[in-house]
């Protein structure tokens, strides 16, 4: 009987300790544990799993290992402005996007800030291909800092393991514009596509996992003759940056952007199995800091009046360098461009940073689209929202009444 009492007492103590441990976790980690994916194939997780994971992907090493991007102590102000009157129902738009966050900054003032899916201003959300535009900016900084000599340098100049591969004669410029001519399958619905498989690749000993995968890909067309979207190529840019700067990308991002541009919170960056940041995706940050990155780019990437990139480089990066086959749109250096001079960073499942220099607009958004990675209906609605914001700003400047509810 005494032994039974002791056993029951120990069991009760374990239950109490377990409950205490559970409730000591933040709500995002508890949510992730409650719907924990059984694999690392984010493209094929369920919607509830994505809802939980996108706000806590850097919390559990079993899913992903990350490196911290430190912030400084002086955040860039985001002063509130008057609510922007939009000719649409913002709540309905956010519901259609399954939006976690939506911010509009106009002329340096925060004109709209909304959150959904139980997310809030203090939480970090995973950005996927929005990270490509950040990586591109770091390339510009590395050129300005003298770590990279020229955009026309060859990949193998910085990654000798690529010699003899299809990337041996591909330039940094061709990587950034995704015109390498190398075969790559970016089909998010295909579990056997390159974009679904490269993170599972078992590298040769002593070779970076991404380099090991990419150097085996064959050439399809001559370099510079075709645009073909490839996350793998942005990831290769990240390896090149690390070799050139002799720093991990998280450190370089913190030094050149996160601290001097005045981000309010640290970010994190997911790393691959050999410890290098997956530079085509996977930065976790608060949405206000994604908006601040947009403002930083809008300012010409300037810190204390001096741009961190070479003169003229940002203008080249954010205007069409290659045709994507869609009227009115193009691709720069990892930025999607529009013929009206605006440009955007875009990620699967609904993240985005839209920048309109003429109107001084930055729109930062995070979401988990119901239709999956490339939900066409949600994507088109987001494009229409960008146009609605531009029209609202134009109408306001012209002193015209707007029929908006903006609610």
Nearest residue to 375 via CA among 350, 355, 396? 350
pLDDT at 239 (0 to 100): 97
The pTM (predicted TM-score) of the whole model is: 0.90
- List of long-range contacts for 327-332, beta carbons under 8 Å, 24+ apart: 331/177, 331/178, 331/227, 332/177
* Helix, strand or coil, per DSSP, at residue 283: strand
The answer to whether the beta carbons of residues 171 and 239 sit under 8 Å apart is no
**Residue linked to tokens 């591969």:** 165
The answer to whether the beta carbons of residues 217 and 170 sit under 8 Å apart is no
Domain 68-397 has CATH 3.90.400.10: no
Say how many C-beta atoms besides its own lie within 10 A of residue 113's C-beta. Answer: 18
Q: Which residues of 246-263 are buried (b: 16+ CB within 10 A; e: fewer)?
A: ebbbbbbbbbbbbbbbbb
Query: Tens digit of pLDDT for each residue in 268-299?
Result: 999 998 899 999 999 999 999 999 999 999 99
Which residues make beta-bridge pairs with 268? 68, 284
Distance CA 109, CA 126 (A): 25
Q: Which residues of 168-189 are buried (b: 16+ CB within 10 A; e: fewer)?
A: bbbbbbbbbbbbbbbebebebe
For the chain, domain boundaries: 68-397
**Residue linked to tokens 């995973």:** 126
What tokens were used for 177? 């514009």
pLDDT at 204 (0 to 100): 85
pLDDT at 80 (0 to 100): 97
pLDDT at 22 (0 to 100): 43
Q: Kindly state the helix (H) or strand (E) to which residue 290 belongs, with its residue range.
A: helix 287-298
Low-confidence stretches of the chain (pLDDT < 50) are: 7-8, 10-22, 404-407
Contacts of 66 (CB under 8 A, 6+ apart): 57, 58, 268, 269, 270, 271, 282, 284
Q: Is the dihedral of CA 275, 278, 284, 288 positive or negative?
A: positive
> Which residue spans within 348-402 are E strands per DSSP?
351-356, 361-367
pLDDT at 302 (0 to 100): 97
């Amino acid at each position: 009987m005494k032994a039974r009492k002791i056993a029951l007492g120990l069991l009760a103590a374990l239950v109490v300790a377990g409950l205490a441990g559970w409730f000591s976790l933040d709500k995002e980690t508890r949510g992730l544990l409650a719907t924990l994916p059984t694999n690392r194939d984010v493209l094929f997780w369920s919607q509830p799993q994505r809802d939980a994971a996108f706000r806590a992907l850097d919390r559990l090493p079993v899913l992903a290992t990350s490196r911290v991007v430190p912030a400084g102590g002086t955040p860039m102000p985001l002063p509130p402005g008057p609510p922007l009157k939009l000719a649409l129902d913002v709540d309905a738009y956010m519901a259609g996007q399954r939006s976690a966050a939506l911010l509009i900054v106009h002329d340096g003032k925060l004109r709209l800030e909304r959150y959904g899916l139980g997310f809030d201003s203090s939480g970090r959300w995973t950005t996927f291909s929005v990270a490509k535009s950040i990586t591109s900016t770091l390339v510009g900084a590395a050129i300005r800092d003298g770590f990279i000599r020229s955009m026309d340098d060859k990949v193998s100049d910085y990654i000798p393991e690529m010699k003899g591969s299809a990337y041996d004669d591909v330039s940094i410029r061709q990587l950034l514009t995704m015109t390498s001519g190398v075969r790559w399958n970016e089909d998010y619905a295909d579990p056997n596509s390159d974009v679904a498989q490269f993170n599972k690749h078992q590298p040769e000993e002593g070779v970076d996992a991404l380099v090991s995968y990419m150097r085996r890909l064959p050439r399809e067309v001559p370099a510079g003759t075709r645009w073909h979207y490839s996350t793998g190529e942005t990831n290769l840019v990240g390896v090149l940056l690390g070799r050139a700067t002799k720093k991990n990308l998280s450190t370089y991002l913190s030094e050149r952007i996160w601290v001097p541009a005045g981000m309010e919170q640290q970010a994190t960056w997911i790393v691959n199995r050999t410890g290098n940041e997956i530079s085509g995706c996977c930065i976790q940050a608060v949405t206000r800091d994604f908006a601040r990155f947009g403002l930083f780019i809008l300012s010409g990437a300037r810190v204390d009046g001096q741009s961190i990139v070479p003169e003229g480089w940002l203008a080249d990066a954010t205007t069409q360098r290659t045709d994507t086959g869609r009227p009115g749109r193009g691709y720069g250096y990892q930025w999607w461009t529009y013929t009206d001079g605006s440009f955007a960073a875009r990620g699967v499942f609904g993240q985005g940073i839209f920048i309109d220099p003429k109107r001084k607009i930055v729109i930062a958004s995070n979401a988990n689209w119901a239709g999956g990675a490339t939900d066409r209906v949600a994507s088109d609605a987001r494009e229409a929202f960008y146009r609605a914001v531009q029209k609202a700003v134009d109408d306001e400047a012209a002193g015209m009444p707007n029929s908006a509810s903006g609610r």
